Each structure stands twice: as structure tokens, then as C-alpha cells.
Structure 1
Amino acid sequence: GGHAIIYHYTDDILICAPKQEQVQRLQDRVIQTLQAKGFEFRPEKIQRMPPWRYLGLEITKRTIQPQRLKIKDNPETLADLQQ
């Protein structure tokens, strides 16, 4: 029942489907497939409950809006700037 959408950008993946069971099945399959190719996942980074954060957006059950901007005062590395 219903189509699913998978968005991918760099190391972020967003899986959308009408039913939670579909999301879970797709998530399991995506993780298995990518791990078989040598990619690693950090389970603590998987967002299962709203609000979800993806590419600077905050996604709730009903709306999508930009996240609040946080500026680091003293970045020491390029990684600090990209967070």
C-alpha cells in the first residue's frame, strides 16, 4: 500500500512512506544493502520520531520549516563550520 520516497544527499537519507511499517522495511533494506557495500551506520543518528531534521529542515507530522540557525562563535575546524 502506497508509494515510498527515498531522498539521499551526501551522508543523509530520508525515507518517507504512508505507513510506519513501510518505512521500517525500507530502512532495514537500505541499511543492509549499504552495509554490504562497506558503509557504516550510527544507530543513534536514526530519527524515528518527529520532529525530524534533514538538510537544514525541521519536519513535523504536518509541516516543513527551516531549522533554527545556530552559529558557532569560535570554529576551530572546517567540520565545526559545517555543523
Structure 2
Amino acid sequence: MRRTFTLRELARLAQGVGPGALPAGTPAERLAALIPLAAAQRGLSGPDQGDDDVVDPYGGNDALYQRSFDELLPAVTVIGAVARG
């Protein structure tokens, strides 16, 4: 579980990793370097872990799928920005 994150948790923890902490390199290399640094951030801040959950749209209507997408998009944006440097 040390290397397993929800997307929202990884995005939240990635924001606590300083920009200079990740090496120069490809986005894949930067993302690989981010994982242990993000894991080290666990427990340092006390946000409600429920904030890391995403609504499960399975079997729902289009509005529920849109809500799930809207919850995930900011996290994907943050992770992508960190990986690109």
C-alpha cells in the first residue's frame, strides 16, 4: 500500500513535494521519482481522507459520470503538471 494512491491522493501529496525535489528528466522519470516522495508526505497533513475519494459512476446516469470526471480532472491536471516539470 505504500505505493498505491487514489489519483486525488497522489495529486494532494504531490503538491507537498517541492519543485526542486524531482530530478530533471522525462515525465515518466519524474513521475517515478514522485511516488516515494509523495508516500513520504502521508501523515504530515491532516485532510479528511474522504476528500481523496471519487464518486463511483458505475450504473449511474450521465450526470453522475460528469461528476466523477469533474472530481478527477483537477487531480490529473496536477499530476501531469508535476510530471512535466
Alignment TM-score, normalising by the size of structure 2: 0.31
User: Which has the larger share of helix?
Assistant: 2
Q: Which has the higher contact order (CA 8 A, sep 6+)?
A: 2
User: Which has the larger share of strand?
Assistant: 1
